[in-house]
Amino acid sequence: MKKSILLLAISLLFLSCKSDDDSGSNNSIVGTWLLTSIIENNEEIITMCERQEFYEFRDDNTFSFQVFDEREDLNEDGTVETDCVEGTLDTGIYTIEGNNIAIKFDTEDESDVSVFSINQDTLTLTFEETEIESYVRQ
């Protein structure tokens, strides 16, 4: 009987311990995150080129953000062809606190910090509660 109780206590002890993966490390954010939607005033406003934009978060608490711009070319027959080209590549640093990721671009001063919330494999960035950007892990 004592052995059974001891075995049960040891089992409960192991089950109650958190794994190292739950320690709040940067592994939950590291990777590439693709923009999937932009909602402004409850209306979807994302463009074809914006659907290619992405954040890349790295282990060393740095990130990059790739913008894509729309380019229109006039064809010989007078039609307009539209495609997307790489625009600016912005970089910066990030910090994680709980389910929030604060980012600061290298080109901004200390007071210009944006905060993402993370829920499983979705990042959400809200601007003044009127615009919401959503990103998914690639």
pLDDT in tens, 35-55: 999 999 999 999 999 999 999
pLDDT band at 26 (very low <50, low <70, confident <90, very high): low
Paired with 38 in beta bridges are 133
Residues contacting 126, CB < 8 A, separation 6+? 117, 132, 133
Contact between 102 and 114 (Cβ < 8 Å): yes
Q: Which residue has the tokens 């950007």?
A: 133
Choice between 18 and 54, residue whose per-residue pLDDT is larger: 54
Parallel, antiparallel, or unpaired for β 80-97 and 54-57? unpaired
Contact between 103 and 92 (Cβ < 8 Å): yes
What's the Cα-to-Cα distance from 124 to each of 26, 88, 103, rounded to whole Å?
A: 17, 21, 12
Mean pLDDT of the chain: 82
Q: What is the pTM of this model?
A: 0.74
For the record, the structure tokens of 98 come out as: 């709980």
Q: Helix, strand or coil for residue 61?
A: coil
